[in-house]
Amino acid sequence: MKKFENYVSNLRVLEQANKEDLNNEFIISGIVDKFSIQFELGWKLLKALLTYEGNKTFATGSPRGIIKEAYTVYPFFDGELWLEMLKDRNDMAHVYDGNAAKKLAIRIIKEYVPQFINLEKEITTYYGDILKTI
C-alpha cells in the first residue's frame, strides 16, 4: 500500500528529530513541518484503511472525523492523542511563535513520534502481508 509506504518513509526522517539541535530555529521549523506532513500521511492512511474495511462513513471526511472513526474501529489507536496532534498542527499552521514552535518540537519528539511509530507497528501487526496487496 503506497500510503503506508509513504507514512513509514516520512516517519524514518522524523524519527531523527531527537538528534537535532533544538536551539536552531531552522531545525525546529523543519521538525514542525515534517510533523505536519506525517500527521497528514497518518490520517489519510487511516482513511484508506477504514475504506478497505468497508467503512465508508467518513470516505470524504475531515481529519477529525477519520480520527474519531479510527478510534472506534482500531483498539490500538489513541484517538485522544491524535486529536491533540490535529489541534497542534492547526495551531502552528496559522501562527508562528518561536517559543511555541520549540515547545511543539519537544512534544513531537517525546509524544507524537512514539505514537506514529506505534501506529506503524500496530498496522503492520493488524494487516500483515495484506498491506502489500491493498
**Tens digits of per-residue pLDDT, 14-64?**
999 999 999 999 999 999 999 999 999 999 999 999 999 998 776 667 999
Q: Where are the domains of the chain?
A: 2-132
pTM for this model (two decimals):
0.93
Indicate whether 111 pLDDT > 90: yes
pLDDT of residue 134: 77
pLDDT of residue 59: 63
Cβ neighbours, 10 Å, residue 92: 19
**What gap in Å lies between CA 23 and CA 21, rounded to an integer?**
5
Alpha-carbon torsion, ordered 27, 30, 32, 37, to 10 deg = -160
Task: Name the nearest CA neighbour of 39 among 104, 114, 127, 112.
Answer: 112
pLDDT of residue 20: 96
- 3-state class (DSSP) for residue 6: helix
Instruction: Show the cell assigned to 67.
Output: 480520527
User: Has domain 2-132 been given CATH number 1.20.120?
Assistant: yes
